Each structure stands twice: as C-alpha cells, then as structure tokens.
Amino acid sequence: MTVTEIFQRAKALSTQERKELVVKLVETLGDPPVQTAEEEHWGRKMNALLDTLDMSEWEAIEIDDPVEWVKAQREDERKHRLGDWGAPE
C-alpha cells in the first residue's frame, strides 16, 4: 500500500479519527530506542573479546625493523610457493 492510498483512506475517517491517526503517527517518530544497561555496546563486547585472546606469541616476536620483517616474510612465502628457481642444485 502506498502513502497516497493510505491518505485516500484516511480522508474517509471522521475528524476525530484523523486526529487520533495523526497522534499515533507522530508517536512512531519518537526518539530511537535507548540502550538498556543490560545491553552492552558492541565495541565494548569486542574489546572484551580481544582481552581474552592469547597474544603472547605476538609479544614474543623480536622485530627490530617492521618493514624489513614484512619483506622477509613475503620472500619466505614466495620461496615456499614457487620454490627457489635461481638456486644451483
């Protein structure tokens, strides 16, 4: 049903019924629902989840230069995927 169709039907209502309809429509435009104390924000839930993860292996990595470390990881992956074709046998 379109708004125009609804409006046409609303015109058939009595004056009092149209006033009641307007009040009900305005009430539906109220403020967005307020978050209850029981419902925790998704960001807080995610932070709590991250706090439960074991990140000790990440902290144990000794990286002096992160850019060089990433380059070395990429090179290792490339060699693993493609093999070292330039190495003499």
DSSP secondary structure string, 48-88?
A: HHHHHS--HHHHH---S-HHHHHHHHHHHHHHHHH--TTS-
Residue 19, helix vs strand vs coil: helix
Judged against a pLDDT cut of 80, whether residue 35 lies above it is answered with no
Confidence at 33, pLDDT banded by 50, 70, 90: low
Length, in residues, of the chain: 89
Looking at residue 36, what DSSP letter applies? P
6 pLDDT band, cuts 50/70/90, is confident
48-71 residue pLDDT tens? 998 898 877 776 677 888 898 899
- In the predicted model, is pLDDT for residue 89 greater than 60? no
Contact yes or no for 21/10 (Cβ under 8 A): yes
Per-residue pLDDT of 7-32, as tens digits, reads 888 889 998 998 888 888 888 887 76
pTM of the model: 0.33
At 39, list the tokens. 């419902």
